Amino acid sequence: MSYSKFESHMKKIADVGFAMAVLSWDQETYMPEKGADFRAQQLSTLSGVYHKLFTEDELGKLLSDLSADASLNEQQKKNISLTLESYQKQKKFTTEFVELMSKTVSECFQAWQSAKEKNDFSVYQPKLEKLVELKKQECELLGYEGHPYNAQLNEYEKGTTTADIEKLFEEVRKELVPFVKKIKEAQQVDDALFYRDYPKDKQWDFGIELLKQMGFDFTSGRQDISSHPFTTSFNPYDVRVTTRVNEKDLSEMIWSCIHEGGHGLYEQGLPAGQYGLPCGEAVSLGIHESQSRLWENNVGRSMAYWKKNFNLAKKYFPEQLQQDTAEGFYKAMNKVEPSLIRTSADELTYHFHIMIRFEIEKALFENKLKVSDLPAYWNAKYKEYLGIDVPTDTKGVLQDIHWSHGSFGYFPTYSIGSFYAAQFFDQAKKEIPGLVQQIENGDLHSLLNWLRERIHRHGRFYTASELCEKITGEKLNFSHFMNYAREKYSAIYGLK
């Protein structure tokens, strides 16, 4: 009885949370420009409603009663214990703080948009300063052990600490940096084929076909256009992915479609019966990213995937790709080259972009770096890690949306996700007979079923670390990614 009361209360909270997600989705896809101010206010009000519902004493009472209820099954117990954690966390904030955070984020996001458009960091700076201060307060309210940045990391990748990330990037530095150096010294790959004229509507149709092939269910989801591709979900039967289409660069659409499609499949695979409950939610951002990266990199950037799909590409672009081969297409999409923009980076130097952001965020939360010094610091780091000069802030410190959303501690999950992806994909190859052959045939069903079974259906029942061990028999292990990278890129670049 009281469990079902708990359930129905949680579903109401979820209803409000997902309503916010609808408003945010609309904001990024269809909202007319002048709608922003009122939308910010509407989101702020809903964030307050959400917080009030989550901190009701009645819920606290229910949780405390149910924590002692031995008759619950394991899933129910997990839902109670995880919700209790969230409840205690929400209780640390006042509704005023939550509303202020929401409003500050909206203002900061608008300032960022305008700053990026005008290439003028000074438009963004005061709003970001305000937001960073608020985020530091949030760390204190949340509490942390060790580094204050741990409080932020914990929001996205529960249990992962600043020290864990440092250790991981230590390995990246030791293994990946010299490997990329070797690639740079080898014969370079030509990727000119991506930069021909690719009409918008053909690209769109091609992307939809790729999503369908992956198993994305269009009766339970859709794709739209946004300037920053993202995935959001209002329930497992209504999952929204977005993409962008650049007529001068076919690759942007392909990677955003497959990447967001991977996120979307995870959301569609969550158990609908657990709507509103922890066991109906994704484990962590790292695990979420493992799903997008596995599809994008381990599947989408493989030779097997394009064996058949290159003909599909040629069906849409017969003239543009007339002279090309599947092998040439495959090599072009795996060109390794240090570059300015994270989202269009190759899958190796990508992690250098993340390391830079991690170091910046850490320094911000250690009070070692001021917001006003961000552009100069950014540019210096790009010179150091990627060897390139940043020509404008728009292509530098202003390129990412995350900080304007108040998302600090988010970036490292991109690297974590890629490394999980390699580890999971190694396991999938072991467990699914003829997987590579299936991919060559354009048959992606077994892989999706394996992910559904191993990952999606569990929701948050296991932590990221538990899930990884359960699936692969070991904790996150960077060597899977490194071995994958070494094997693949040695072949492409003719390295020994």
Q: How many residues contact a copy of itself, by CB under 8 A?
A: 38
| Angle at alpha carbon of residue 395, lines to 390 and 396, rounded to 5° | 60
* In the complex, minimum distance from the CB of residue 196 to a copy of itself, in angstroms, rounded to a whole number: 25
Give yes or no for residue 218 binding a copy of itself (CB under 8 A).
yes
Query: Is residue 4 close enough to count as binding a copy of itself by CB under 8 A?
Result: no
Rounded CA separation 95/90 (Å): 9
Type of residue found at 471: I
- Among 6, 149, 275, 365, interactor with a copy of itself by CB under 8 A: 275
Q: CA distances (Å), 46 to each of 10, 50, 239, 280, 295, in order?
A: 15, 6, 21, 22, 34
Provide, rounded to whole angstroms, the least separation between the CB of residue 97 and a copy of itself. 17
Q: Can 366 be counted among the known catalytic residues?
A: no
- Binding of residue 235 to a copy of itself (CB under 8 A): yes
Any idea what DSSP says for residue 460?
T
261 in contact with a copy of itself (CB under 8 A): no
Least Å distance between CB 167 and a copy of itself?
Answer: 41
Contact 356, 364 (CB under 8 A): no
Contact 422, 262 (CB under 8 A): no
Which of 4, 33, 190, 433 touches a copy of itself (CB under 8 A)?
33
Pick the closer one to a copy of itself by CB: 280 or 409.
Answer: 280
**Stretch 350-389: interaction string toward a copy of itself, x if CB under 8 A:** ----------------------------------------
Rounded CA-CA distance 235/270 in Å is 9
Sheet holding 238-243, edge to edge: 221-225, 238-243, 231-235
Residue 11 lies near a copy of itself (rule: CB under 8 A): yes
- Contact between 23 and a copy of itself by CB under 8 A: the answer reads yes
- Binding of residue 184 to a copy of itself (CB under 8 A): no
Contact (Cβ atoms closer than 8 angstroms) between residue 350 and residue 421? no
Residue with tokens 């619950």: 72
- Can you state the percent helix, strand and coil of the chain, rounding each to 5? 70, 5, 30
Residues 36-75 that bind a copy of itself (CB under 8 A): 37-39, 41-42, 44-46, 48-49
Selected range binding a copy of itself among 25-33, 127-135, 138-146, 395-403, rule: CB under 8 A: 25-33
Give the residue, chosen from 97, 204, 237, 450, that forms a contact with a copy of itself under the rule CB under 8 A: 237
Is position 225 an interface residue for a copy of itself (rule: CB under 8 A)?
Answer: no
Q: CA angle, 126 as apex, 124 and 130 as ends, to 5°?
A: 115
- Among the listed ranges 10-18, 207-215, 297-305, 443-451, the one in contact with a copy of itself (CB under 8 A) is 10-18
Nearer to a copy of itself, 52 or 405 (CB): 52
Rounded Cα gap, residues 312 and 305, in angstroms: 11
Catalytic residue among 260, 289, 347, 361: 260
Residue 224 backbone phi and psi in degrees, to 5 = -135, 180
Residues 6+ apart with CB under 8 A from 170: none
Give how far Cα 19 sits from Cα of 43, 99, 230, 307, 450, Å: 9, 16, 17, 42, 31
Q: Does 264 bind a copy of itself (CB under 8 A)?
A: no
**Given the rule CB under 8 A, which residues bind a copy of itself?**
11-12, 15-16, 18-20, 22-23, 26, 30-35, 37-39, 41-42, 44-46, 48-49, 217-222, 224, 234-235, 237-238, 275
Q: Which residues are catalytic?
A: 260
